[in-house]
Structure 1
Amino acid sequence: MIMSVIFSIIVFIFVLGLVILIHELGHFIMAKRANILCHEFSLGMGPILWSKRGKETLYTIRAIPIGGYVMMAGEEVEDEIVKVGKQVRLIFDDFNNVEKIVLDHEDERYDQYEKVTVTKVDLKGENNEPLFINDYTVKRNAFYVYKKRELQIAPHERSFESKTKTERFLAIFAGPFMNFVLAVFVFIFINLFMGFPVMDSTVLGSIGDGYPSYGILEEGDKIISIDGEPVSDWDEISSEIDSNVADRLIQFEILRDGDTDTVAITPVLIFYSLGFRSDEDVINELIIDEINEESIAYKAGFVGGDKILTIDGIEVISWFDVTQLVSANIYGEVMTFTVLRDGSVETLTIAPHDKEVLEYSGVLAVENFIGISPIYEFNFLKSFTYSFTNTKDAAGMIFSTLGLLFGNENVGVSDLAGPVGIYTITSNALSGGLLSLLSWVALLSVNLGVINLLPIPALDGGRLVFLGYEAITTKKPNKKIENTLHYAMYLMLMGLFVYITFNDILRLFNLK
């Protein structure tokens, strides 16, 4: 158990680190192509766990794995670090050019270097003018030194603000773009591994272990008819199963090894709006199967083995009755159930998912399920082209979620997932196998790309809005106002992050 949790945590850190790394690499690569000086490339936030100084960039891994950043010179307002009247110590190279400027001039470690009072200074060097302090020439790749840390100075031509609008756009947009690229490549791998369903065939590809068809139907069986209705493709199979009236066996005529046979299967009823399913082992009673602890049914107090007696005061004697009452509740109004549990009657109330939430999830309030799927075939070209559709669909799902967040009273900020929630989802995906985990990596990467493109200050999309303003008006926005907005929104997002994480913890320990 402990090793399983440790392994899940390692996978969680790897998955989250991967999508953040790809995002920041996008920013970093395009910044480097534009010759923008990058002071730091960081994975994570907070205290530094590991660091390595490159030629001009400090690479760090920080303690809190919730994000990362590329610190580009000039992306934010930078006050002059060295001003007239300030005392500094200067370290010279062999040609008497300043290569390091020690800001903490009282530090005894640098007593051997010359201390000067600044009387004139230019460390920007616009139009390629020389950099200088007093009468000393400063190298364009010199460093500031403060408390054992070094930061390379940024001449004007190396700053973000000196670049063209196209170069700045690419440096900002490349982060989210790389998240979409990662998703495309992951989906290509998934599609190559899984293949694509052959929809114009009625041959069974796989039978779900633990579902009603298991042990009755077999891989390779060809379905000829369902309840006497001939079927010629998978769409017709799905339609016939979905049209089955609850409590009635579905008759399948199949071809197996050259012989025809007829078998009967009672489908499981999955109540997506409530979060439970019928018990396939009990045919003539309204017994609920084991319930997932994440479902709204579990949170409402339902447990596996409950026998449904009434719904909103109406006695129900068949799953058809239950299906009719549940399907009619399209607005998520509270329903009252009485159930028989261990010989005593319990009364439970539950607010089902409404029609809008179900449509977003791509399901109906109640669906039949027997656990069969079509055969799959390998198609390299389709694996490549369909990966773009997969990515587009994932982005569409995220926009739909945002729509529910702002347009559905039953969905709120408390339903969002933070790091703890992402860990839980990652752990569940890991238990589903490699393809399940990869699907989650792709979805998480698309999510990071979409969220960062929202036109909100502090996010990449917010920075693109200010860049768009500059492109339209031909005037640069006031940098101090822009950065004040970015910082204020950053604080608000951090507050939201704390709130979401708190809710994650409550959910993790079933306190909410």
Structure 2
Amino acid sequence: MLEAAVSFILVLGVLIFFHELGHFLVARWAGVGVLKFSLGFGPKLWSWKGKETEYMLCVIPLGGYVKMLGEEDGEEVLEKDKARSFEKQSLSRRTAIVLAGPIANFLLAYGIFASVLAVGLPLYVPQFESLMPMVDSVLEESPAERGGLQVGDKIVAIDGTRIDTWHEMTEIVIENPDHELTIEVERAGGLLNLTVTPRSVEAVSQGGEPILIGQIGITRMTGDVSIESVSPVYAIVDGAYATWRWAELMVVGIVKIVQGELSAKNIGGPILIADMSAQAASQGFLNIVLFVALISINLGIVNLLPVPVLDGGHLMFFAIEGIRGRPLEERGREIAHQVGLFLLLSLMTFAFYNDIMRYL
């Protein structure tokens, strides 16, 4: 438990630091006054006041923020400081400041991927189709063959539980050695119910204890892209390609959830991230670094969603301003922010609920 908490705080701390650093550096470049740079929310654990900026470390490690001069609606700014306020900057400069956070997250992931490739290690990027529970082959004399599973079948449910990914399917199979399972598959446009009993196989748990797991004898459809650089110079380009492919995979996943093709139960919150951080840390330095890269891409994408209170919401307002030739009225922005905050809190609550149900 302690390992998970420490891993979670370290991983999230790195991601938040780079995200807010992006906003901070571009704001300073644009000549905007930065009043606060905070990692975390709530009461201060530590702070240091520079020439203008107060740097803070706060109790709740679930985010961070950069407070700029004149950033909030109705904020009073001294006449001598107005030229340095956020609201007085050109549309292009405000856009650059807001975009800098997500871009910093993508650059962090790119730097990690390029570094891994530069030292000669390969990277694997799964295709979305390879994550789906599609049967690519059926072993002879296996439980799957005896139960009637065929190549090309898509597993949609097991014992009434909806299945969206190969991982979800294997988890159920592994946990049910010698237990009869009713597997619903999609075949040739129709649905079939098959009965399969996973064979019992000896294995070793993460703690080194002997255990029995279930296997049914099928393999998944693969389409994973292996990226390997022939030299550090090529790693510069290959790192960008790896970042793009992972970002593309995550965007497709979000679209599938919105379309209902992928269950919303796949949305995870802080408990899932903490657990995955601990697992990655237990597997060595390389795994935890790659995990940071993947979560950093995810954070960058989520922040670009056009939801008020997120960076993407600010960019949406800037786009409206560019089209109209003037900003949206203050009252309209207030209502939009209230709606956005409600949506964000609802999503966080739902993700936390998923976390609890996942580990019950």
TM-score (norm 2): 0.75
Task: Measure how far apart 1:389 and its partner are.
Answer: 0.8
Partner SS, residue 119 of structure 2: helix
Which residue identity does 1:52 align to in structure 2? W
- CA gap 1:392/1:302 in 2 versus in 1, 3 angstroms: closer
Alignment equivalent of 2:313, drawn from 459, 462, 485: 462
Query: Which protein has the bigger helix share?
Result: 2
Q: Where does residue 178 of structure 2 map in the other structure?
A: 306
Does the CA-based 8 Å contact 1:37-1:73 persist in structure 2? yes
Task: Measure how far apart 1:405 and its partner are.
Answer: 0.8
Runs of 4 or more consecutive aligned structure 1 residues displaced over 6 Å after TM superposition: 242-245
Q: Where does residue 64 of structure 2 map in the other structure?
A: 68
Q: Gaps (5+ residues) in structure 2?
A: 124-134, 142-150, 159-166, 201-216
**How far apart, in 2, do the equivalents of 1:330 and 1:418 lie?**
35
- CA gap 1:273/1:185 in 2 versus in 1, 3 angstroms: farther
- CA gap 1:327/1:378 in 2 versus in 1, 3 angstroms: farther
**Correspondence list, 1:30-429, <5 A:** 30-80=26-76, 124-125=78-79, 128=80, 155-196=81-122, 246-247=139-140, 273=155, 295-296=168-169, 298=171, 303-306=175-178, 328=187, 335=193, 337=195, 339=197, 366-367=218-219, 378-412=230-264, 414-429=265-280
Q: CA RMSD in A?
A: 3.6
Partner SS, residue 295 of structure 1: helix
Q: Gaps (5+ residues) in structure 1?
A: 81-122, 129-154, 198-241, 249-268, 277-293, 313-324, 343-364
Partner SS, residue 61 of structure 1: strand
Which residue identity does 1:328 align to in structure 2? R
Number of aligned residue pairs: 312
Which residue identity does 2:256 align to in structure 1? L
Task: Measure how far apart 1:496 and its partner are.
Answer: 2.1
Which residue identity does 1:394 align to in structure 2? W
Which residue identity does 2:258 align to in structure 1? F
Task: Measure how far apart 1:311 and its partner are.
Answer: 5.7
**How far apart, in 2, do the equivalents of 1:424 and 1:272 lie?**
29
Does the CA-based 8 Å contact 1:274-1:297 persist in structure 2? no
**How far apart, in 2, do the equivalents of 1:75 and 1:24 lie?**
15
- CA gap 1:459/1:330 in 2 versus in 1, 3 angstroms: farther
Does the CA-based 8 Å contact 2:118-2:229 persist in structure 1? no
Task: Measure how far apart 1:419 and its partner are.
Answer: 0.9
Which residue identity does 2:195 align to in structure 1? F
**Correspondence list, 1:19-38, <5 A:** 19-38=15-34
| Higher-Rg member (1/2) | 1
Does the CA-based 8 Å contact 2:308-2:340 persist in structure 1? yes
TM-score (norm 1): 0.54
